[in-house]
Structure 1
Amino acid sequence: MTKKEDYELKTEQLLEPIISEHQFELVDVEYVKEGSNWYLRAYIDKTGGITVDDCELVSRALSDLLDKHDFIPDAYILEVSSPGLGRQLKKEKDFKRSLGEEVDVKLYKAIEKQKQFTGILQAYDEEKITLEFEEGETMDIPRQNISLIRLAFDF
């Protein structure tokens, strides 16, 4: 396990009781470097959407726990937010909730000379996802070839 993965896992464990108490959903935790700064980000959600007050509540509680446990020696910026419109599908529950929804998929290697697809997520398992397109055609895409999959949104 990398240092990054360890920090993310420990942060998830600290968040679990806070999230559970307020009936929120923990979408993701990431520890990333952008420019010269490290960021520890927690993405939360709930039915009906997350509010700024919800983010503040979780941020304050998490900040106190992080100060107490102090397992990240580097200076970092803590951010708690909603996953946004184009939320990535990462966990089993994300895929399950998104069945029948339109998704954008980006690939590492092209399939039929294309590296991006948009379609309805019809099925998924550990090995592949199945997309359905407007014409009714379906395509299986190996999960190991997916660099990014997220809910599609139109303006």
Structure 2
Amino acid sequence: MALQDVVEQAVTGLGYDLVEVERSAGGLLRVTIDMPWKGRGAGEQSVNVEDCEKVSRQLQYALEVEAVDYKRLEVSSPGIDRPLRNESDFERFAGEVVDITLKQPMGEAGAGQVAANRKKFRGTLEKAGDRWQVVWSDAPEEKPGRRVSKKKQPAPLQALGFSLDELREARLASIVDFKGRKSRAQGEQ
């Protein structure tokens, strides 16, 4: 049985989602797990140390039975810059700020002020029909305490539509607010 299948079977058998399996030089086997998504409106849970320990114990037995060669096993949560891999990940994190990297530059499709050779974008993830889009503004962030003229026009929003097969990589943007100790999404509600 392939390593990916062994790990996925052990992780899903315990009720978790497998996010990523990574093998590094030196025998490190890194497994990233997450709580299953229950849908919009359901309380979002996160992986804790006990969850990682439970999966680690189960994986040690499963990997020994399958005679998988590794020196060190590391089980962790996806963190604040979680990778987005499949359609359910994109549905789960719609409305969040994401960083995406395209496989190919935009080419002639680049409209407006976006450079045609640009591959990386950061913006809010939205569903647009049967495709996904990332929406952003190139306006600089306002500095706290600085007055803003009421006459100043906001920078226009830009959007880029894409399909999942056009992506090289997609991750949640790692935005941390140390002052309020909460994410931007929580602060806006």
Q: Which residue of 1 aligns with 2:158?
A: 137
Q: Alignment partner of 1:53: what SS?
A: helix
Alignment length (residue pairs)? 142
Q: Does 1:26 align with 2:30?
A: no
In 1, the alpha carbon distance for the partners of 2:10 and 2:128 equals 30
Unaligned residue ranges in structure 2 (runs of 5+): 37-43, 107-115, 138-155, 177-189
2:132 partner letter? I
Provide the identity percentage: 26
Task: Indicate how the Cα distance of structure 1 residues 36 and 63 shifts in structure 2: closer, same or farther if over 3 A, else same.
Answer: closer
The question of whether the paired residues in 2 share the 8 Å contact of 1:99 and 1:123 is answered with yes
2:50 partner letter? D
Q: Which residue of 2 aligns with 1:119?
A: 123
Task: Write the mapping of 1:1-155 to structure 2, written as runs, cut at 5 A.
Answer: 6-19=2-15, 25-32=16-23, 34-45=24-35, 47-67=44-64, 69-72=65-68, 74-111=69-106, 112-123=116-127, 128-134=131-137, 135-155=156-176
Higher helix share: 1
Unaligned residue ranges in structure 1 (runs of 5+): 20-24
The question of whether the paired residues in 1 share the 8 Å contact of 2:19 and 2:32 is answered with yes
The question of whether the paired residues in 1 share the 8 Å contact of 2:127 and 2:133 is answered with yes
The question of whether the paired residues in 2 share the 8 Å contact of 1:40 and 1:79 is answered with yes
The question of whether the paired residues in 2 share the 8 Å contact of 1:104 and 1:150 is answered with yes
Task: Indicate how the Cα distance of structure 1 residues 14 and 53 shifts in structure 2: closer, same or farther if over 3 A, else same.
Answer: closer
Higher strand share: 1
TM-score, with structure 2 as normaliser: 0.65
Q: Alignment partner of 1:153: what SS?
A: coil
The question of whether the paired residues in 1 share the 8 Å contact of 2:105 and 2:118 is answered with yes
In 1, the alpha carbon distance for the partners of 2:128 and 2:9 equals 27
Task: Indicate how the Cα distance of structure 1 residues 27 and 13 shifts in structure 2: closer, same or farther if over 3 A, else same.
Answer: closer
1:8 partner letter? Q
The question of whether the paired residues in 1 share the 8 Å contact of 2:52 and 2:76 is answered with yes
TM-score, with structure 1 as normaliser: 0.77
